[in-house]
Structure 1
Amino acid sequence: MALAAAFLLLLLATPAAYAVQYTVGDSAGWTTGGDYTTWVQGKTFNVGDTLLFTYGGSHKVDEVSKSDYDNCNSGNSLKSYSNGNTVITLSTAGSMYFICPTAGHCAGGMKLAIDVVAASGNTPSTSSPPSGSPSGSSSSPPPPPSRSGAPSIMNNSGLILGFSLVLGAVLAVMS
Structure 2
Amino acid sequence: METSKVFVLLFLLSTFHFLVATCIQFEVGGKSGWEVPKSKDDYNQWASTNRFKVNDTVHFSYKEDSVMVVTEDEYDKCHSARPIFFNNNGNTEYKLARPGLFYFISGVKGHCPRGQKMIIKVLEPASPPQPSIDSQKKNGAAAMAAAVSSATVMLCVVSFLAVFLF
Answer yes or no: is the 8 Å Cα contact 1:68–1:76 preserved in 2. no
TM-score, length basis structure 2:
0.65
Bigger mean CA offset, 109-118 vs 32-41: 32-41
TM-score by length of 1: 0.62
Task: Report the alpha carbon displacement of residue 12 of structure 1 after superposing the two structures with TM.
Answer: 6.9
The within-5 A match list for 1:28-107 is 28-33=32-37, 35-57=42-64, 59-107=65-113
Cα deviation, residue 11, structure 1? 5.2
Stretches of 4+ aligned residues off by more than 3 angstroms:
7-13, 168-172
CA distance in 1, matches of 2:44, 2:162: 51
Q: Paired residue for 1:135?
A: none
Cα distance in 2 for residues equivalent to 1:171 and 1:8: 10
Cα distance change on mapping 1:69 and 1:169 into 2, 3 Å: same
Matches of 2:165 and 2:107 in 1, distance apart? Answer: 60
SS in 2 for 1:103: coil
Cα distance, 1:47 vs. partner?
Answer: 0.3
Q: 1:14 aligns with which of 13, 19, 22?
A: 19
Work out which of the two has the higher radius of gyration on C-alpha atoms and give 1 or 2.
2
2: CA distance, partners of 1:46 / 1:171: 31
Greater RCO between the two (CA within 8 Å, min separation 6)?
1
Correspondence list, 1:119-134, <5 A: 119-120=125-126
Instruction: Classify the secondary structure of the residue corresponding to 1:48.
Output: coil
Other structure's SS at 2:119 match? strand
- Report the Cα offset of residue 79 of structure 1: 1.1
Superimposed CA distance per residue, residues 137-158 of structure 1 (whole angstroms, 9 cap, x where no aligned partner): xxxxxxxxxxxxxxxxxxxxxx
Q: CA RMSD in A?
A: 3.0
Amino acid at match of 2:73: S
- Give the secondary structure class of the aligned counterpart of 1:96: strand
Q: What is the aligned residue count?
A: 125
SS of the residue corresponding to residue 20 of structure 2 reads helix
- CA change 1:107–1:120 in 2 (3 A) is same
Partners of 2:20 and 2:161 lie apart in 1 by: 22
1:23-72 deviation per Cα after TM superposition (whole angstroms, max 9, x unaligned): 01111110112520221122111101110011112x10011000000000
Q: Is the 8 A contact 1:48 1:119 kept in 2?
A: no
* Larger helix proportion of the pair: 2
CA distance in 2, matches of 1:29, 1:9: 32
1:173 to partner: Cα distance:
2.0
Q: SS state of the match for residue 36, structure 1?
A: helix
